[in-house]
Structures are given as C-alpha cells and as structure tokens.
Amino acid sequence: MSAFRSTLRAAMVAACCGVAFTPLQAQDTAVTVSGRVVVAGSDTPLPAANIRIVELHRDARAHEDGTFVFSAVPSGTYELVVQRIGYRAVRQPLVVGRSAVTVTVRMVEAPIQLAASVVTGQISERGSVDAITATSVLSDAKLDRRLDGTLGATVAGTPGVAVTSMGPATARPVLRGMSGDRVLILEDGLRPGDLSSTSMDHAVAMDPLTATKVEVVRGPMSLLYGSSALGGVVNLIRQEVPSTLAEHLHGSVSVQATSANGGVTAGGFGEAPLLGLTVRGEASGRVAGDMRTPVGALVNTDVQSVNGSVGASLVRDWGYTGVSYRFFQNDYGLPGGFVGAHPGGVDITMTRHMVRSETDWHPQDGRFESVKASLSFTDYAHSELTNSGNVSTRFEQLMSVGELQVRHKPVGPFTSGAFGLRAQYRDITTAGALRTPSTSDWSAAGFVIEEAELGKLRLQAGARYDLARFTPLESASVTVDGVAIPAAPRTFGALSASLGALYKFDNGLRLGASASQSYRTPDFNELYSDGPHLAAYSYDVGNPRIRRETGRGAELFGRVERERVRVEVAAFMNRMDGYIFPRNTGELGRQGERWKFQYSNEDATLVGAEGELEWTLAQHVVLDGSVSYVRGDLRGPRDTVPGINGAPDVLESSFLPLMPPLHGRVGARHETARWSYGGGLRWAAAQDRLGDFETVTDAYATADLFVGWRLLLGGRLHSVTVKVDNLLDAEIRDHLSRTKTIIPEMGRNISLLYRVQF
C-alpha cells in the first residue's frame, strides 16, 4: 500500500510536468475577426460582454467601447456565443474566409436568461432547451442570488433538489429523493475524489465561490459519467484546466459575508496568456462561526477552509491540452446533543490534493469530431477528532482515474454520437474506532451513445457496461443477524441502457420522454462496515453478501422557452430492485451508545414530479417559482421490530427513510441591466410518511428578499447582491437534517456578495 502511495504521488508529479500529447495539424489561412457589442436599438457600446468561438475554444471580453478582436482565426464556419449579465445570450453563425471579418452583435436587455448552454450529460455543448432530460443551469445573476457556503446549499431550491446535512458544512444535494453516490458531484466533469457520498457527516470537498456555472441534470440519463447516477448529476464548472484561449487577462474577485454565522469568504481567479499558453490561477478562503438559529446557536458548527489551484493549457484551433493542480483544506465542526453524539460534538479536518491532465483534440479530417482524454490523481484524507483532540476515525483515499471519450461526425442514420472508456483505481485506508477494513477497488466501463435527427424529432440511445471489484486488505468479518460473515472480495458487473426522445414544436414547445435501466455497485462501507462511526453518530453494519442495485426508470417532460416565458415540468418513476440503504434497527451497537444502522437490500419505488417557471408579467417584472415532490415506498412484506426505550414492538415502515416532503418557492422580481430586487415565499409541507424510527416534521413557510446592483466602471463589471434569507426568523425543521430533533435550521441571515469581473 505504501508502494502504491509512492507510485501515485510520483505519477501526480509527472502529470504536472508534462501534457498528454500535442497533436500537430496544418492550419488553413488565418485572418482577424473583429467586432463590436452594442445594445439593440441603439449604438450604445456594451463592455464586459463575454465572446466565445465555440469550436476553436477562443474566448474574449468586450472592451470599454464594446470592441473585441480574435487574431489568427482559420477559415471555417463556427458558432459565436455572446453573453452578458442582464441581456439575452446571442448565438449566431460566424463564417470565416480568406479576408478579415467584422461583426456587430446586438444584445437585448432581458429579465429572463434564455439560451443557456449546458454540457453536463450531453454529447456536445447545446442549449438547455434541447437537452433530453430535465436540466437546470445556475449562472450569472441567478448564481449570485443562490451562492452559499456549500455546493448543496447553492443548488437548494432547484427543481427536484433537496439537501441533507449534519450541520451547515456538510450540506449535500439530494435529487429526486436519491442521495449518496446515486447523485454524482462533479468538478469540471470529473469526480472530486472525496468521500462525501459515503456518509452524511462527510463534506463535499469543493468551494462554489469561484464557479462560473453550476449545472443540475436530473434523472438516470447520464451514461457518460457512470451507471450509479440514478438521481442525476451536479456539475460545478470553472475550467481549472483552461479550455479557451485567453486573448488578455480576465477573471473575477469575490467577497461574501453572512450574518447568521459571522462568516466571511473571499477569493478569485484570473486567466491570462503567457508564453503561448493560457494560465489560470485561483485562491479562496472561508471562515465562519457557529450557526445561529431562532432558538440559539448550534454549537460546534464553525468552518475554516482554504482552496487554491493553478493550471495551464496550450490552446489551438485543433483543441487544447493542459494540466492543473488543486489543493483544498476544510476544518469544520459537527454538533452534539442527541443520542450517540459526543456532548461537545466532533471536529473534522480534511485535505484534498488533485492533479488532472486533459486533452481535447478536434481533427479537421476523418470521421471524428473530437477525441478527449483525461487523467486525474487524487490524494484525500480526513480525520474525525473528539473534543479532547484525539483522532477517533480516519479515512485516506488515493484515487486515479483515466477517461477517453470520442465523438464522431454524422454517419449513416446517426447525426452525432460518442463512445468511450473509463478506468478507476482506489486505495482506501481506515483507522481508529471504525472497524471497516482498508479496501482497494478497481472499476472499468465502456459506453456508447448515439443520436438521430428525424425532422423535428431527435432520438438518443445509449448503453454502458460497468465492471467493479472490491478487495478487503485486512482480515475482517461482519455480523449480520447474529451471523459472522467474512469480508471477502466481491465482483460486480452489469449493463445499463437508456432511450430518449425530444420533439421540437414551432412555438417553442419541447416534449420529451426517456426510459432507462440503471445499475449501482454497493460501496466499500455498505459491504464491510461493522463498528461505530464517530462523526456520523451511528453504529454502521454492512453486508458482504449484499446484492447489486438495479433500477428501471421512466420520465416525461415538457419545456417552453419564449421571449417572455420559460417553463419546464417533469414527472418520473423509478422502480428499484435491491435498493441499498441503512435501515435503523432500533437497537444500539455493541458499545451501547449509538443507534445501529444495517445496510440491506429492499425493493422500492420512487415516483414524483417537479416544475419551474419564469414569466415576464410586465416590462422588467418576472414571476418565478418551483415545486418538487417525491414519494418513496418499499415493496415486499414487513417484519416486526422492537420499540425504542421500552416502547411497544412496531411493524417495519413501508416508506423509504429520509424522503424530502413536498416543497417549493414562489416569488417575483424587478430586473434591469443595472438593478434587480425582489422576494419570495419558501415553503415545505409536513412529512409524515416516515421510515423506521423517524419523526414527523412540521410544515413551514418563510420569506426571502434580495437586492442586486451592477455598475460598469473602467470597463469592469462590478456587482453587489444583498439577500435576506428566512426573513421571518422561522423555526424550520428540515426533514433531511440529522440535527432537526435538537435545533432548527439557520435563522434570519443577511448576506452580502461583491463581485468584480475584469
């Protein structure tokens, strides 16, 4: 194991020192493309707009007089995308011949951001309106209004999304009632290599402050990333390996302050050309105290984190190739005060080192549109400490991942398609009171996805085969129902498949449907755990004989995107065979201090619906809202389980635990290119469909307000966003919060975000 760690670290250094490969390709005649961005209906220049030539990975910003220049652009036909906060995105063709090209881009002020692009789960970048699954995009002003201290809190309120936590630092998204590794958290399309999916007390090892966009793709149509993504994918995008050629220095600096925890966050990033490369640097830091609630402070929920990265790429008309290194350290507290918890809570310190290399090659000739290869190495560790400072539990994970994705040009009946390979190796070391044996595992997968255009109908079909093997590195056994089962190696393999369709009507309406069969491998903790987990306040028991999890899902959705309205609704059903979850047995573990949770297989069905609306009622006035509902039922006979603390024996629940209640938001805002302000009502129904030994959570409603201001100064865009969450200081008990029985969620919170883009 130490030899592997040394080899992996040497590979990380090697990846930093070299690039995968640099394709050589002859260039056609290159010319200058210049232009000017103005406000439609006038000749007023629009500085700070971002201009991108998609196919060439070229990026520029409009100067103070609205002008921009791309030098040495080869002949061809491209897509020019222009974006600016407060204005409708423009996507228009750019034809480059043998002489210089001059364009004028006219942008229309719009309170609804239409034509958002999405890359997550797609064969190639396309507008979110054309995605063959339910999709949400947070960027620009919407991201500023939603930005919070964690990725989970930032995407909370997005249709189909809830949040599970054991305190503010550990918020993690739950999509359509599914959590853990059924929801893939990605950073620029790659897994961050943390252990946040294995337990509620493990934080996501990334800071959203420097994100340029967050994409949420709901449903099991994400065969590009893995068969386990039954709930969907959340992808934080910031391009730490630069994929566009920077024409000049650009970036942003942000500062955010919050009142409910006395928190301050500051950071920024910058990209610039240097010695023929595009280089990117980033740094941020966060400090916060204990979370204040309407009934007092939630003690030991403070956070201190630092984050930084550096990357460089060679960007040419054939694509790009580059490397990056990221460091993340997060020290945070988990509260005590309930059964199994330490009186003073638990402190966790985590670190993550990640090196990644990417190459995206776009050959001009042949049948392939692009060939993208990536290689990443992650060294992750975290320790769980008692208030005396002793390490009670420690995890270390070394992970290496290689991915290859090839997109082809139109062939036969297929207008586009992709195929690829993925290989992963992990080495997980455990120590302390946790009795889960150290484990190594490897997995390999191959996939193919094809699309066909039949007039206004687009069809997509895909298949993926995954193979995985888990090997305990120590002798161990797990006691299940009084029987000691040896922790033996396990191998899993299965085929996943999906079929989707999208029909485009002339009036902006899209109707879509999908069907899928998915597959999930149990993780190491679900197989081999048998002991107390300090920070989770639980006694976890796995099952070395547990079966794989399979699901059959169906989804219907519709979306409309017009000048004054954007709406998307979806209904879904997932029928799960062998659904794996930790069932509360109502017993205490061997040490008699923590509730015993037994991982087991149960057949289950999850059905639900979600929707989102933005409607321009009058000039600059927008009504917006979202609603989400999911119901999880267990299928099969129920057994009798002993009551807690002498209570009568009860029949096992027929409901899945930790299902979010019906919840949503409705609000209105007034938005111009310079000012925005508004508010809304955030609400949730009571949840009385309970898993074993869960407690009812009451309905709640509270108000939120915000004011935003944008100013152009010296050609730089400055923005200030002030928001008040939980204006009524309501006592909110979130059903997915582990701490809901002792204290409510955050009380009234005033946050201030200042951002300057240069």
The CA–CA distances, whole Å, from 737 to 2, 237, 653, 660 equal 38, 27, 20, 10
Cα 39 to Cα 87: distance, rounded to the nearest angstrom: 9
Considering 222-236, 484-498, 533-547, the range whose residues carry the highest mean pLDDT is 484-498
Q: Give the confidence band of 11 by pLDDT, cuts at 50, 70, 90.
A: very low
- Beta-ladder partners of 45: 38
Of residues 255 and 122, the one with the higher pLDDT is 255
pLDDT at 434: 78
Work out the average pLDDT over 55-84. 90
Cα 575 to Cα 362: distance, rounded to the nearest angstrom: 40
pLDDT in tens, 309-356: 999 999 988 889 999 999 999 999 998 876 556 677 899 999 999 999
Residue 469's CB is within 10 A of a number of other CB atoms, namely 15
Q: What are the backbone angles phi and psi of residue 5, rounded to the nearest 5°?
A: -60, -40
Work out the average pLDDT over 48-61. 87
Q: Give the confidence band of 512 by pLDDT, cuts at 50, 70, 90.
A: very high
Q: Is the pLDDT of residue 4 over 50?
A: no
Strands 595-618 and 621-635: antiparallel
Domain locations in the chain as residue ranges? 2-18+116-757, 30-107
Q: Is the pLDDT of residue 19 over 80?
A: no
Which of 255-264, 451-460, 630-639, 659-668 has the lowest average pLDDT?
A: 630-639
| H-helix or E-strand spanning residue 153 | helix 151-155
Q: What are the backbone angles phi and psi of residue 326, rounded to the nearest 5°?
A: -130, 140
Token pair belonging to 493: 């393999």
Closest CA to 548 of 521, 524, 529: 521
Cα 532 to Cα 231: distance, rounded to the nearest angstrom: 28
pLDDT at 741: 84
pLDDT at 239: 92
| H-helix or E-strand spanning residue 6 | helix 2-17
Q: Are 461 and 449 in contact (CB under 8 A)?
A: yes
The mean predicted confidence, pLDDT, of the chain is 90
Cα 643 to Cα 675: distance, rounded to the nearest angstrom: 57
Provide the residue count of the chain.
758
pLDDT at 339: 57
pTM of the model: 0.91
For 529, the 3-state DSSP assignment is coil
Beta-sheet strands, E only, within 289-415:
291-293, 296-298, 303-316, 319-334, 346-361, 368-385, 391-408
Of residues 30 and 424, the one with the higher pLDDT is 424
For 217, the 3-state DSSP assignment is strand
Q: Is the pLDDT of residue 614 over 60?
A: yes
Cα 498 to Cα 484: distance, rounded to the nearest angstrom: 39
Q: Is the pLDDT of residue 291 over 80?
A: yes
Closest CA to 86 of 13, 24, 37, 130: 37
Q: Looking up tokens 């302000």, which residue turns up?
A: 677
Work out the average pLDDT over 497-513. 94
pLDDT in tens, 351-362: 999 999 999 998
Work out the average pLDDT over 150-154. 96
Cα torsion for 340, 342, 347, 353, to the nearest 10°? -30
CATH 2.40.128.110 is the classification of domain 2-18+116-757: no
Token pair belonging to 249: 């220095």
Strands 58-61 and 245-246: parallel
User: What's domain 30-107's architecture?
Assistant: Sandwich (2.60)
Q: Looking up tokens 């009502």, which residue turns up?
A: 681
